[in-house]
């Protein structure tokens, strides 16, 4: 795999997404019949982590029991990494999901470096841009400087990531408010939201949505940590260490890269703690910071909650 070295944190996110989601070459024999079978499987099965090979970390947040005994509906809200490597073969599977709106949380820099693909314009959903990060964000600039210098430890990168989880819910209230606005505007039709790797900005977004649906925090953290099951950390950390070593001119320990690739419970707990401290509770934050009024929250529950069922 040839990797172009371009300065900036956007590159690091793009590299990570590329390693998580290799785009496999489709088999030529019986390709059409196989695609139809896969499409039917995706459309009718309750699957937490979907097999969409060219999009990283593609997940459904359905099937979670909330505190009122109701369950989040399957095939209503999807989360993922970016669509820059989205293959024509995988499009048939994604199209079967009936996604009405795609919400892109990547910074402008990230979208320029890795534009989304959609092979059939007739089936292309409405795309909403809600950029989080980029050069204007302190955590993003700090991470960029660390990676470009090559002079960092695992704990220093981890600390920057934790800072991000504390900063984003307070500095990006407008974007997360718009996330809810657009989910409500979809009128119950399926929505996909994503960033680059589908784990940090997207992970916070998923946590906010599930919180608004009164899913317990223990369950939300369980969903958040699923990212770690989707990647080969050892392989990816070695590959990225080589890339950043060449970029910076310093030998980088693969172990120092690990916080860029994985998630930890403390990350999301940092978000919860910051919100609770600033607003008193998650309910207050959703209402006062994101304008999720009682009426809007009721509509959200009506659209996204179902009768009780077992988690998948």
Q: Is residue 3 included in any domain, yes or no? A: no
Q: 145 vs 205, which has greater pLDDT?
A: 205
The answer to whether the CB of 22 falls within 8 A of the CB of 53 is yes
Query: Three-class SS string for 162-189?
Result: HHHHHHHHHHCHHHHHHHHHHHHHCCCC
- Here the CATH number for the domain that contains residue 86 is 3.90.190.10
pLDDT, tens digit, 9 for 90 and up, residues 74-115: 999 999 999 999 998 898 899 999 999 999 999 998 999 999
pLDDT, tens digit, 9 for 90 and up, residues 35-54: 444 443 444 457 899 989 89
Q: Across all residues in the chain, what is the average pLDDT? A: 85
Q: Is residue 26 included in any domain, yes or no? A: yes
Share of residues in the chain with pLDDT > 70 (%): 83
Q: Is residue 258 included in any domain, yes or no? A: yes
Q: Is residue 2 included in any domain, yes or no? A: no
Q: Is the pLDDT at 278 greater than 60, yes or no?
A: yes
Q: Containing domain of residue 81, as a range?
A: 9-306
Q: Is residue 312 included in any domain, yes or no? A: no
Q: How many domains does the chain have?
A: 1
In angstroms, the CA 107 to CA 195 distance is 9
Q: Is residue 233 included in any domain, yes or no? A: yes
The predicted pLDDT at position 309 comes to 52
Q: Is residue 257 included in any domain, yes or no? A: yes
Q: 280 vs 44, which has greater pLDDT?
A: 280
Q: Is the pLDDT at 177 greater than 50, yes or no?
A: yes
Enter the DSSP assignment of 114: S
pLDDT, tens digit, 9 for 90 and up, residues 55-72: 989 999 999 999 999 999
Q: pTM for this structure?
A: 0.85
Q: Is residue 4 included in any domain, yes or no? A: no
Lowest mean pLDDT of 125-139, 175-189, 269-283, name the range.
Answer: 125-139
The answer to whether the CB of 265 falls within 8 A of the CB of 225 is yes
């Amino acid at each position: 795999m040839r990797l172009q070295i371009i300065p900036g944190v956007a590159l690091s996110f793009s590299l990570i997404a590329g390693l998580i989601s290799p785009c496999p070459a489709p088999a030529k024999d019986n390709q059409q019949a196989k695609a139809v079978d896969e499409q039917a499987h995706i459309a009718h099965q309750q699957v937490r982590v979907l097999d969409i090979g060219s999009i990283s970390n593609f997940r459904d947040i359905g099937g979670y029991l909330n505190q009122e005994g109701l369950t989040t509906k399957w095939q209503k809200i999807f989360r993922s990494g970016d669509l820059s490597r989205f293959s024509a073969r995988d499009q048939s599977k994604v199209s079967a999901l009936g996604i009405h709106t795609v919400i892109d949380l990547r910074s402008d820099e990230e979208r320029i470096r890795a534009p989304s693909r959609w092979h059939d314009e007739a089936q292309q959903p409405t795309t909403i841009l809600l950029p989080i990060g980029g050069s204007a964000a302190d955590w993003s600039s700090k991470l960029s400087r660390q990676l470009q210098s090559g002079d960092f430890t695992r704990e220093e990168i981890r600390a920057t990531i934790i800072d991000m989880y504390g900063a984003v819910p307070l500095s990006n209230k407008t974007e997360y408010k718009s996330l809810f606005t657009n989910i409500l505007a979809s009128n119950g039709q399926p929505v996909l939201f994503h960033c680059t790797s589908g784990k940090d900005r997207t992970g916070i977004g998923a946590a906010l949505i599930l919180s608004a649906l009164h899913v317990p925090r223990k369950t939300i953290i369980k969903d958040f940590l699923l990212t770690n099951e989707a990647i080969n950390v050892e392989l990816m950390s070695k590959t990225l260490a080589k890339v950043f070593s060449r970029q910076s001119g310093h030998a980088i320990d693969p172990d120092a890269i690990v916080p860029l690739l994985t998630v930890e419970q403390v990350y999301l707990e940092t978000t919860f703690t910051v919100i609770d401290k600033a607003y008193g509770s998650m309910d207050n934050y959703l209402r006062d910071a994101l304008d999720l009024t009682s009426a809007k929250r009721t509509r959200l529950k009506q659209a996204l909650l179902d009768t009780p069922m077992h988690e998948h």
